[in-house]
């Protein structure tokens, strides 16, 4: 298609990994390109190009995309009869409309391919960019199980994000298209994807907040950051704000301000936040705060779940809907809610690592893993068949204990100190506060803390079957091996 297509694809892949690994490493992003030759029929050689050629898809898989797009064109209704006064405007809009149909047809084709091949992938396509005789579309695929596991906003409409991962997908594809358009005009025609990962996630957070703001009011994300950054009489900002249109029937007014306070007045909003308590929250339409109110109970016929912003502490807040947290923002950087080790995932991994364990033993280890995952300061629970010998080997790097069956209540106590807890699959504990060692591995991640990387090195170097539950201080929870 063009000289630097391989370089761009690799750059986009690394860009996607940097972004989505910050959200959830289990999303496992994969990026490839599909090009449709503008001057060739679908069945001609070279009419479809897939980059890289080693991907599991071939050009023949997408030969019918243009025909499918043409079918979609016939179903567009009366909008096709609209004609713009200026010919250039009409041609431009008609061309963009065709590109959108090709995008929809490509996504539909990928969905059918994934379903027929039973691939656990969710596909997203960018609107094609015309580049040197090809319509080039960027395809991003994510793990379907992981992506679908996050709560989505109801009443989804085309072009609007349903949650933070979806907003990040839209921002990623937007950046890829911008780079491709620049490549078509730049002297060296080398697309550049050099945006800071956290900056892209901040844009995704703004896009998501725009989705939930009544009448699409801009600025809610930055206003919440401004309020969270302030203190009132030395205290951190803690309180709640409901986001809804004014006079919403699901809200019972408690106190109405005669003059609504603009959201850009961060100091006044921070002061009013002191009034929120329990079920009573500030009421805002994303543009102004106009009083205090309460959401009616779910049993009420007027009830409707509304977006809620919880200011948790200094520089921190979170957005939720119907009791489901959509994103947490710390120091102006959005993240997904703290992950929890799923019971079925833990049981499946435990059976692989320890094939001889029965269901009761796995359930008992699961209770311990749950208790470890609730440790707010982070910890490591290491389950190893060689726990006794490892405790002896690490004598100078741990507190060895008289072997005893570990219980959830005791685990809560011993995880209050740094270091790992070493137990056998039977639940017998041999050491606490252990400093783990191990050989460096290419699976390490410099963006993660020392707790995660030391556990990863230990698991990969251990000569015994081992399973580790790693709880980082930032709330991230990992199961190793994953």
Domain 343-481 has CATH 3.40.1700.10: yes
d(CA 232, CA 234): 5
pLDDT at 246: 87
pLDDT at 445: 65
Segment 333-361 mean pLDDT: 81
Over pLDDT 70: what percentage of the chain?
Answer: 89
> Does 343-481 match 220-335 at the fold level?
yes
Residue 332 has pLDDT above 60, yes or no: yes
Contact 11, 159 (CB under 8 A): no
Segment 152-162 mean pLDDT: 82
Which tops the pLDDT comparison, 396 or 78? 396
Cis check: omega of the bond before 201, within 30 degrees of 0: no
CA-derived radius of gyration, the chain: 27
d(CA 450, CA 123): 34
Q: Cα-Cα-Cα-Cα dihedral of 63, 69, 72, 77, to 10°?
A: -160
Which tops the pLDDT comparison, 375 or 78? 375
pLDDT at 210: 92
Segment 383-410 mean pLDDT: 93
pLDDT at 162: 92
Range with the poorest average pLDDT among 194-208, 245-259, 295-309, 445-459: 445-459
pLDDT at 313: 82
pLDDT at 186: 54
d(CA 114, CA 122): 8
Confidence band (pLDDT; 50, 70, 90) for 67? confident
Confidence band (pLDDT; 50, 70, 90) for 343? low
Confidence band (pLDDT; 50, 70, 90) for 182? confident
Confidence band (pLDDT; 50, 70, 90) for 72? confident
Average pLDDT over all residues of the chain: 86
Range with the poorest average pLDDT among 20-34, 62-76, 277-291, 298-312: 62-76
pLDDT in tens, 283-321: 999 999 999 999 999 888 889 999 999 998 888 899 999
Strand partners, 277: 280
pLDDT at 14: 93
Segment 349-378 mean pLDDT: 86
Class of domain 220-335: alpha beta
pLDDT at 86: 60
Range with the poorest average pLDDT among 27-31, 314-318, 400-404: 314-318
340: tokens are: 């929890």
Over pLDDT 90: what percentage of the chain?
Answer: 46
Segment 395-414 mean pLDDT: 92
pLDDT at 76: 52
Contact 51, 32 (CB under 8 A): yes
Confidence band (pLDDT; 50, 70, 90) for 338? low
Cis check: omega of the bond before 388, within 30 degrees of 0: no
pLDDT at 2: 77
274: tokens are: 């002191």
287: tokens are: 């543009």
Extents of the domains making up the chain: 4-212, 220-335, 343-481
pLDDT in tens, 220-262: 999 999 999 987 665 666 889 999 988 899 999 999 999 999 9
Segment 199-213 mean pLDDT: 93
């Amino acid at each position: 298609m063009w000289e630097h297509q391989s370089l761009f694809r690799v750059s986009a892949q690394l860009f996607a990994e940097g972004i989505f690994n910050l959200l959830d490493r289990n999303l496992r992003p994969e990026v490839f390109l599909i090009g449709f030759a503008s001057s060739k029929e679908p069945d001609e050689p070279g009419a479809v190009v897939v980059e890289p050629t080693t991907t599991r898809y071939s050009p023949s898989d997408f030969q019918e995309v243009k025909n499918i797009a043409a079918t979609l064109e016939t179903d567009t209704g009366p909008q096709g009869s609209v004609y713009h006064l200026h010919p250039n405007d009409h041609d431009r809009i008609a061309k963009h409309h065709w590109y959108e149909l090709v995008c929809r047809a490509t996504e539909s084709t990928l969905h059918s391919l994934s379903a027929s091949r039973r691939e656990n992938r969710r596909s997203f396509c960018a609107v094609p960019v015309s580049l040197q005789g090809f319509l080039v579309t960027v395809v991003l695929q994510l793990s379907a199980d992981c992506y679908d596991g996050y709560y989505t906003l109801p009443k989804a409409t085309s072009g609007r994000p349903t949650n933070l991962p979806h907003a990040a997908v839209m921002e990623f594809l937007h950046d890829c298209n911008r780079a491709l358009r620049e490549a078509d005009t730049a002297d060296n025609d080398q697309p550049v994807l050099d945006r800071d990962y956290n900056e892209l996630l901040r844009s995704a957070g703004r896009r998501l907040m725009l989705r939930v703001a009544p009448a699409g009011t801009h600025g809610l994300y930055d206003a919440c950051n401004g309020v969270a950054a302030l203190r009132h009489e030395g205290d951190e900002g803690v309180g709640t704000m409901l986001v809804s249109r004014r006079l919403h029937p699901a809200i019972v007014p408690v106190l109405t301000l005669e003059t609504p306070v603009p959201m850009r007045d961060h100091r006044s909003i921070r002061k009013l936040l002191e009034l929120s308590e329990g079920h009573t929250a500030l009421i805002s339409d994303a543009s102004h705060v106009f009083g205090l109110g309460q959401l009616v109970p779910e049993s009420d016929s007027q009830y409707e779940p509304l977006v809620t912003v919880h200011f948790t502490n200094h520089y921190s807040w979170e957005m939720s809907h119907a009791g489901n947290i959509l994103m947490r923002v710390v120091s102006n950087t959005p993240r997904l809610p703290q992950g929890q080790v799923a019971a079925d995932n833990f049981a499946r991994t435990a059976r692989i690592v320890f094939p001889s364990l029965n269901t009761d033993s796995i359930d008992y280890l699961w209770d311990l893993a749950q208790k470890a995952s609730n440790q707010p300061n982070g910890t490591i629970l290491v389950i190893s068949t060689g726990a006794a010998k490892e405790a002896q080997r690490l004598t100078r790097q741990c507190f060895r204990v008289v072997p005893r069956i570990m219980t959830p209540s005791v685990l809560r106590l011993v995880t209050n100190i740094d270091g790992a807890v070493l137990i056998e699959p039977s639940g017998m504990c041999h050491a606490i506060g252990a400093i783990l060692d191990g050989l460096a591995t290419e699976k390490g991640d410099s963006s993660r803390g020392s707790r995660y990387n030391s556990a990863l090195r230990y698991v990969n170097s251990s000569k015994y079957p081992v399973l580790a539950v790693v709880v980082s201080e930032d709330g991230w929870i990992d199961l190793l091996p994953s």
